[in-house]
Every structure is written in C-alpha cells, then in structure tokens.
Chains A and B, each alone.
Chain A
Amino acid sequence: EVQLVESGGGLVQPGGSLRLSCAASGFTFSSYEMNWVRQAPGKGLEWVSYISSSGSTIYYADSVKGRFTISRDNAKNSLYLQMNSLRAEDTAVYYCARDSDHRDGYIYYDAFDIWGQGTMVTVSS
C-alpha cells in the first residue's frame, strides 16, 4: 500500500524547535519530489516547502523561509521538516504530500497525489 506517515508534532513554546518526519512506503520514494503543506485550525491549505527527488532543489514559502529546513534521506525513505524559531502562527496540522507528474504528450502536470494523515503542531506558552 502506498502510504505516508507523519510524526514528530506536539506542543512547543514560541521560539522553540521541532522536527517533523514523514515515512514513505509502497513506492520508490527516491523517484518523487515531496512537499510539506500545513493547515491552521479552521483554515485552508498553505504550501510550506518543496524538495526535489535528489534533494538538490529546495523551495520555501516566504512565511517560513530562514526558519524551516526541509530534507530527505532516500536510503531511509524519509522526509523531514526542521522547524526553528516557531511562532504562534505556525500552529497547524502539517501534511507531507507526494508530488506526482502526469504526462500529456510533452507536457507534465504536477499534483499532490498522496498525502499523509497529518501531524499537529501547537505553538503556545
């Protein structure tokens, strides 16, 4: 079964740090780009970060740039998000999502086709 399972969420004080993990199974993890997407309580979806299949290309949302670090270990089929200098506004469910290419002739369309169940991060004193 193709699956993503997040872990590492919890309660942390403002200014603190947390490391999220996402374990992949049922597919060739090293072949796929991956993302982190978050959802604040009662709010919509917000893309957080992207990493290429090799880890050589990385992008961040402006809201987390300089504070969060995405990484992956293809040997361990795992994706990570190191979150530092956490703020109250970082409180959210964090999802890892597989980025899949769908080919139509010479055009490739990206979509997030597999999502984990999410892990809750609460930043509060």
Chain B
Amino acid sequence: DIQMTQSPSSLSASVGDRVTITCRASQSISSYLNWYQQKPGKAPKLLIYAASSLQSGVPSRFSGSGSGTDFTLTISSLQPEDFATYYCQQSYSTPPVTFGQGTRLEIK
C-alpha cells in the first residue's frame, strides 16, 4: 500500500498569511493526488484534483503543485473560513485509496 505523509501535522497562521502544506508519497504516484478540506463536524470537501487542478467553485487562492512523490497545497492569502483540517489522498494505486494523516490549520 502507498503511504501518504503530510507535514506539518498542525500549523498556526494569521489571516492574510501565505501557507504551504506538504504531502509525500511512499512511492511515485505521478499526479494522482487530491486535496480535501474538512471543517469540524462537516464532510470533507474536494479542493484540488490531479495535483494541481482546482475543483469547480473553489477559490483561486488555493493551488496545488508537485508530481512523483512530493506535493504541496498552498493558500495564497488565508481567509477566516480557511481554518480547517486538510488531507491529501492518492488515487494512483488502488485499492486501497490512502489519505494523509491530516494537517490542522489553526488561527494564530
């Protein structure tokens, strides 16, 4: 199974900050990498698919990059509604689909 490792596990930032979250795969997954946002008590929401493609309706301050084993999710200017937990997920070698452990983004 492909293991997904996110860093950091938690992060404190302020409104307006530029934030980057990293996801590393245990083997190459090409661009088969998705990012999700989850707020407390809510279902996950798809932000980015295929490593860098923005899901319809997602603000352009979110962007994704990377291929192979190393990927990043960047929020260019944090907004109050962006404080949430973010998960990466690989869809290259399934089953099983695997998720990273999550990165909790908190207000500083």
A residues in contact (CB < 8 Å) with B: 35, 37, 44-47, 50, 59-62, 95, 102, 104, 109-113, 115-118
Are B44 and A59 within 8 A (Cβ)? no
Q: Is the interface of B mostly helix, strand, loop or mixed?
A: loop
Are A44 and B101 within 8 A (Cβ)? yes
Residues in B whose Cβ lies below 8 Å from that of A50: 94-95, 97
Are A46 and B94 within 8 A (Cβ)? no
Tally of contact residues, B, Cβ under 8 A: 26
Complex: A117 Cα to B99 Cα, angstroms: 19
Are A116 and B43 within 8 A (Cβ)? yes
Are A109 and B43 within 8 A (Cβ)? no
Nearest CB of chain A from residue B87's CB, rounded to whole Å: 6
Nearest CB of chain A from residue B38's CB, rounded to whole Å: 8
Are B44 and A111 within 8 A (Cβ)? no
Tell whether B53 is near chain A: CB-to-CB under 8 Å. Answer: yes
